[in-house]
Amino acid sequence: MALQLKGEHKVGIDRDLVWRLLNDPAVLQEIIPGCDTLTRVSDDKYELGLNLLIGSVSGNYKGSVELSEKNPPDNYRIMLTGEGSIGFVKGQAAFVLTPKDGGTVISYDGEAEVGGLVAGIGNRVLGGIAKFMVKRFFKAFDKYVEGRTASAVVEERVDVGGASLRVIIEGREGAPWLLMSHSIATDLHVWDAQVEAMRDNFRILRFDTRGHGASDASPAPYDFTLLEQDVVKLLDHYGIDKAHFMGVSLGGMIGFGLAINHSGRLASLIAVSSRADAPEAFRAPWDERIAMVQKDGMEALVKPTVERWFAPEYLASHGETRQFIETMIRTTAVEGFAGIGRALQKLDYLPGLGKISVPTLLIAGSRDAPIPDAMQKIHEMIAPSHYEIVADAGHLPNVEKSAEFNAIAADFLQQFIEN
């Protein structure tokens, strides 16, 4: 017996966040009606345990949930199957996310099929029950979103002089501030897994670096003094006296500058996959990369960049993550990339590292040569530093090995959390 389901539902949060939540297994387990268990078995597939009351018939189902045809953050398809003593249920639906009036419209179009004892309820009754289940799904999603917004998720733009930067603030109000700064050719969503893990203990401010994500790309070139000032102006704008700062690659380099030149504004520093100087072997490739994107656009760097940041076997088995990173690279402004590239060629924080006095955690991926050796030297120069290597990780261990990364970062940050 087949049932058709079609409609739309609006939520008052931005599309990127809706996409992230509807692809998060923890959220899916909470909002799928009757879901008892949801266990990951592969990149986009989960084993499912359901306990449903359908009409007057109740029973347990074992099955699966699979996400496919993903085109972030616009659309994807979800497929659900379940089978138990009272019959089976199979369903699929295409979801389309459309920004509207500051929120997001979730459109769905799909069908469900039931069989066995439960099919005896009748088509008309089942149709009503199916619509009720959809309402339960979205009601649970609304409740989840309401719980997040209760902690005041804020997305806005801040003028830092010559550029307007996108900022997202979330997490527990009144908690210590934690700023997150991303790498070149990515954006603030590179920290998604860390936000979910740390939002209960910190007030988190993420921002798109000048020339990246949804921030303005002011004319190149840039330098690290400018990038430091951008962060200081964000702190001033929000009245933040001191903040913990976590940066990956470019973000960690900005963190070094802040710890040297604006140490009074930092409570601690976590620098990931970062170096502090620009020897010739590091400087030279930026000329070629900048010339390439100025001639052919950012698409020319998408494939070589992801293949430099991640191992081939990881990319082969994590298609969603590859697409996630590729989209960020592809949508980076050429002028922003060029501006940051020129800044990197002038990177020269090495002589000042001995001045850093804030508690510092250094993290590198074991497969990100030559970064582990470079960060070992940095560790030796910063007295109050601790150094950790994430095994089998490349340039973005916070993405590739998020659970291991989060555990290391949480252990370091625990000393600053009031019990």
**CATH number of residue 127's parent domain:** 3.30.530.20
On the question of pLDDT at 128 being above 50, the answer is yes
Between residues 417 and 235, the one the model is more confident about: 235
**Contact, 318 vs 394, CB < 8 A?**
no
Q: Are residues 145 and 162 in the same domain?
A: no
Domain boundary among 129, 149, 169: 149
Bridge-partner residues for 35, per DSSP?
50
On the question of pLDDT at 125 being above 60, the answer is no
pLDDT recorded at residue 5: 80
Q: Are residues 184 and 258 in the same domain?
A: yes
pTM above 0.75, yes or no: no
Q: Which of 106-115, 189-198, 224-233 has the lowest mean pLDDT?
A: 106-115
Between residues 265 and 72, the one the model is more confident about: 265
Q: Which of 90-94, 149-153, 298-302, 304-308 has the lowest mean pLDDT?
A: 149-153
pLDDT recorded at residue 317: 92
Bridge-partner residues for 97, per DSSP?
106
> What's the CATH number where 204 sits?
3.40.50.1820
Q: Are residues 144 and 163 in the same domain?
A: no
Q: Are residues 402 and 347 in the same domain?
A: yes
C-alpha count within 13 angstroms, C-beta hemisphere, residue 387? 18
Q: Which of 56-60, 333-337, 351-355 has the lowest mean pLDDT?
A: 56-60
Domain boundary among 119, 149, 179: 149
Q: Which of 90-99, 201-210, 340-349 has the lowest mean pLDDT?
A: 90-99
Q: Are residues 202 and 179 in the same domain?
A: yes
pLDDT recorded at residue 332: 97
Q: Which residues of 15-48 are buried (b: 16+ CB within 10 A; e: fewer)?
A: bbbbbbbbbbeebbbbbbbbbeebeeeeebebeb
Q: How confident is the model at residue 118 (pLDDT cuts 50, 70, 90)?
A: low
Domain boundary among 88, 123, 149: 149
Residue 202 domain boundaries: 156-416
Nearest to residue 79, comparing CAs of 95, 96, 93, 89?
Answer: 93
Calculate mean pLDDT across residues 327-353.
Answer: 97
On the question of pLDDT at 271 being above 80, the answer is yes
Q: Are residues 213 and 361 in the same domain?
A: yes
Q: Which DSSP helix (H) or strand (E) runs through 91?
A: strand 87-100
Q: Are residues 272 and 299 in the same domain?
A: yes
Work out the number of other CB atoms within 10 angstroms of the CB of residue 147: 10
How many folded domains does the chain comprise?
A: 2
How far apart, in whole angstroms, are the C-alpha atoms of residue 402 and residue 260? Answer: 28
Q: Which of 46-55, 367-376, 403-412 has the lowest mean pLDDT?
A: 46-55
On the question of pLDDT at 129 being above 70, the answer is no
Q: Are residues 135 and 203 in the same domain?
A: no
Q: Are residues 95 and 213 in the same domain?
A: no
pLDDT recorded at residue 45: 84
Mean pLDDT estimate for the chain: 89
- 3-class secondary structure, 48: strand
Q: Are residues 353 and 385 in the same domain?
A: yes
155-186 pLDDT, tens digit per residue, is: 999 999 999 999 999 998 889 999 999 999 99
Nearest to residue 50, comparing CAs of 67, 68, 31?
Answer: 31
Q: Are residues 126 and 174 in the same domain?
A: no
Q: Are residues 122 and 206 in the same domain?
A: no
